Amino acid sequence: MKKVLVWYRNDLRVKDHEALWRACQNGNKVYPVYIFDLRCFTTTAPGFQRTGGFRLQFLLESLHELKISLSTLGGDLVIRHGPPEDVIPQLAEQLAVDKVYCSREVAWDELCIAEKLEHRLAQKNVVLDQFWQSGLYHEEDVPWPIKQVPDVFSSFRKESEKTVAIRPEFDVPEKVNFPGGIETCNIPSLEDLGLFLEKRNRKAVLSFKGGEKQAWKRLNDYFWKDDLLRKYKFTRNGLIGKDYSSKLSPWLAHGCISAKSVYHEIKRYEQERVKNISTYWLFFELLWRDFFKFMSKKYGAAIFMTRGITGDLPDMSDDMEKFELWRRGETREPFVDANMMELNTTGFMSNRGRQNVASYLIHDLKVNWTWGAMWYENRLIDYDPDSNWLNWAYIAGVGNDVQKGRKFSIENQALKYDPKGEYVKLWLKASLKP
């Protein structure tokens, strides 16, 4: 019987969690741990915190539910603060664990932390095992070494769809053998971490709440109760209400539900309800998410740089005055401002809105695109480093776009997706005119 420390990262669930499942095999003693890395709350170059109140609240809710889920299995959740590469070796020595299990992350900061941790654990003769469990395709199953993964999504999609099978889910462990003997500590409040509770605007598309049960509730509502998956492709560019898209992204970003679980539910839906272009299209969107993870792994720190993965320098400036007008939703461009108001007061914005306001900051205002990506990191409850930064780079022309950037006509987009001005009216005061 071994002692295993399971380090929770962006994988806050018990279902389809390979690291937890393997740790619990053979009756091993298991210590689930979550660490608040205070570097996630530092101030960015434009002057705001990396993590905002909406996202932190969602994280805390997810942790509370995870703790309950682990407790029902006989386990618990140990909470600590500090750099994981420092804290985990100390815990490993204190608890005399044999191994540390965790998810394999690919974003640059997370990758560097894991490398430092692996080195420090090795000095204590403790093994770090990392499990690829945040995407659809397993890294060992794709038909390319990482340096040869296609840079164009269509090539990635066509080849992978022909050759890669998505693995089955891992079951919830029957029991988590938590031996105790360690202070678990309380999950902190927002105030403990230097933030405050932001009241979500009542016009929000959903009253998003973190946690694995909430993730499955949303999936069941969208797929089975309301039977909305059958028309997803034709509604996904909507702007108002909870029904135009699955809205699963916040729970996917925090790992409250796995992409594999969503995929297997799509397959079940296709068997029991209908198989059509819409059911395929949700898989298609999950595949974009996977593509960005492989691109992040391939290019490392470059995805966070102004020159992106192409090395080209966009036509832009560090104009704080223009950026602040954009950030506050005061550009006097109604469609842009309405979307920014939704983002700022709810922590969420439609995919269509995200593309438009990003294009406006980059191509109309010609402001540093990385500042926009940083603001999304602060605001979005579904912030995912790979998808966020590579989507911004894509629009800026320094990412995975053969057209070298996407400039949207904001006026045409508003006419197409908000022809009656209902969305703008919903989010902007009547006194605000272009």
pLDDT digit string (tens) for 269-321? Answer: 999 999 999 999 999 999 999 999 999 999 999 999 999 999 999 999 999 99
d(CA 330, CA 146): 43
Q: Does one domain contain both 223 and 367?
A: no
Q: Does one domain contain both 278 and 399?
A: no
Q: Is residue 21 part of a domain?
A: yes
Domain boundary pick from 88, 118, 133: 133
Q: Is residue 183 part of a domain?
A: no
What is the reported pLDDT for 291?
98
Sequence-separated (6 or more) residues with CB below 8 Å from residue 142: 149, 160, 164, 294
Which of left, alpha, beta for 212 (phi over 0: left; psi -120 to 50: alpha)?
Answer: alpha
d(CA 21, CA 174): 9
What is the domain-level CATH number for residue 67? 3.40.50.620
Q: Does one domain contain both 215 and 349?
A: no
Q: Does one domain contain both 140 and 248?
A: yes
Domain boundary pick from 304, 338, 355: 304
Average pLDDT over residues 123-144: 97
Distances in whole angstroms, Cα of residue 132 to Cα of each of 135, 141, 254, 294, 365: 7, 11, 15, 12, 39
Q: Does one domain contain both 128 and 28?
A: yes
What are the b/e assignments for 33-66, b being 16+ CB within 10 Å? bbbbbeeeeeeeebebbebbbbbbbbbbbbbebb
What is the reported pLDDT for 429?
74
What is the reported pLDDT for 405?
83
Q: Which of 308, 322, 326 is nearest to 397 (CA)?
A: 308
Sequence-separated (6 or more) residues with CB below 8 Å from residue 281: 232, 233, 236
Q: Does one domain contain both 326 and 423?
A: yes
Q: Is residue 85 part of a domain?
A: yes
Q: Is residue 193 part of a domain?
A: no
Q: How many CA atoms lie within 13 A of 402 on its CB side?
A: 6
Give the amino acid at 431. Answer: S
What is the reported pLDDT for 301?
98
Q: Is residue 309 part of a domain?
A: no
Secondary structure of residue 183 in the 3-state scheme: coil
Average pLDDT over residues 156-176: 97
Q: Does one domain contain both 113 and 249?
A: no
Domain boundary pick from 88, 116, 133: 133
Backbone angles phi, psi at 29, to 5 degrees: -80, 130
The radius of gyration of the chain from alpha carbons, rounded to an integer in Å, stands at: 22
What is the reported pLDDT for 434?
34
What is the domain-level CATH number for residue 140? 1.25.40.80
What is the domain-level CATH number for residue 372? 1.10.579.10
Q: Does one domain contain both 162 and 256?
A: yes
Q: Is residue 342 part of a domain?
A: yes
Q: Is residue 174 part of a domain?
A: no
What is the reported pLDDT for 114?
98
**pLDDT higher than 90, residue 401:** no
- Structurally, the chain folds into a number of domains equal to 3
Average pLDDT over residues 367-396: 98
d(CA 176, CA 158): 40
Average pLDDT over residues 420-432: 82
**pLDDT higher than 50, residue 161:** yes
Model confidence at 1, in pLDDT bands (50, 70, 90)? confident
Q: Does one domain contain both 362 and 382?
A: yes
What is the reported pLDDT for 404?
80
CB-based contact 32:76 (threshold 8 Å): yes
Secondary structure of residue 1 in the 3-state scheme: coil
Q: Is residue 206 part of a domain?
A: no
Q: Does one domain contain both 146 and 271?
A: yes
Q: Does one domain contain both 146 and 293?
A: yes
Structure tokens at 364: 């109309």
Average pLDDT over residues 189-202: 96
Average pLDDT over residues 25-51: 96
Percent share of the chain, pLDDT over 70: 99
> Which range of residues forms the domain containing residue 84?
3-133
Q: Does one domain contain both 224 and 373?
A: no
d(CA 342, CA 54): 12
pTM for the model: 0.97
How many Cβ atoms are within 10 Å of 285's Cβ, its own excluded?
Answer: 17
